Amino acid sequence: MGNGLFSRREFSRVVGQSLALAIAAPGLRGRAAARRADASRSPLIHLNFNENPYGPTPRALEALDACGPEASRYPDGAHEQVREALGQLHGVGRENIVLGCGSTEILRAADMTFLTSGKSVVVAETTFEAVLDYARVARATAVKVAHTADHRHDLPKMAEACTSKTGMVYVCNPNNPTGTIVTRDELADFIPRVPSTTLILVDEAYFHFAENPQYGSVIDWIGKHPNLMVARTFSKIYGMAGMRLGYAVGSRENIAAMHDQILRDNGNAAVLAAALASLGDKDYVASSRARMNATRRWLAAQLAQDGRSFIPSEANFMMIDMGTDVAPIIEQFRARNILVGRRFPSMSNYLRVTIGTQPETEAFVAALREIAPVRGSKAA
Using 50, 70 and 90 to split pLDDT, how confident is the model at 39?
A: low
Residues 6+ apart with CB under 8 A from 314: 174, 179, 180, 181, 206, 209, 210, 211, 212, 215
Using 50, 70 and 90 to split pLDDT, how confident is the model at 264?
A: confident
| Spatial separation of the C-alpha atoms in residues 78 and 186, rounded to whole Å | 37
Terminal Cα-to-Cα distance of the chain (whole angstroms): 72
Candidates 226, 195, 24; CA nearest to 108 is: 24
The pLDDT assigned to 376 comes to 54
Candidates 194, 184, 148; CA nearest to 311 is: 148
pLDDT tens string 330-350: 999 999 999 999 999 999 999
| Spatial separation of the C-alpha atoms in residues 332 and 328, rounded to whole Å | 6
Q: What average pLDDT does the chain have?
A: 90
Q: Is residue 235 a contact partner of residue 208, using CB atoms and an 8 Å limit?
A: no
pLDDT tens string 56-71: 999 999 999 888 777 7
- Does pLDDT of 84 surpass 60? yes
The pLDDT assigned to 16 comes to 45
Domains 25-53+283-371 and 58-280 share a fold: no
The helix, strand and coil proportions of the chain, stated in percent and rounded to the nearest 5, come to: 45, 15, 40
Mean pLDDT, rounded, for 358-366: 98
CATH 3.90.1150.10 fits 25-53+283-371, yes or no: yes
Name beta bridge partners: 202: 171, 230
pTM to 2 decimal places: 0.88
> What are the structural domain ranges in the chain?
25-53+283-371, 58-280
| Spatial separation of the C-alpha atoms in residues 232 and 271, rounded to whole Å | 15
Q: Which fold has domain 58-280?
A: Aspartate Aminotransferase; domain 2 (3.40.640)
Name beta bridge partners: 199: 168
Residue 99, helix vs strand vs coil:
strand
- Which of 68-82, 223-237, 279-293, 304-318 has the weakest average pLDDT? 68-82
| Spatial separation of the C-alpha atoms in residues 278 and 247, rounded to whole Å | 15
Exposure on the CB side of residue 184, measured as CA atoms within 13 A:
12
- Does pLDDT of 7 surpass 70? no
pLDDT tens string 97-131: 999 999 999 999 999 999 987 899 999 999 999 99
- Does pLDDT of 76 surpass 90? no
Residue 319, helix vs strand vs coil:
strand
Mean pLDDT, rounded, for 80-95: 96
Name beta bridge partners: 249: 97, 230
Name beta bridge partners: 354: 317
Output the CA–CA distances (angstroms, integers) from residue 80 to 94, 102, 233, 375, in the order listed: 8, 17, 17, 57
| Spatial separation of the C-alpha atoms in residues 156 and 186, rounded to whole Å | 9
Mean pLDDT, rounded, for 25-45: 58
| Spatial separation of the C-alpha atoms in residues 130 and 112, rounded to whole Å | 12
Neighbours of 225 (CB within 10 A): 17
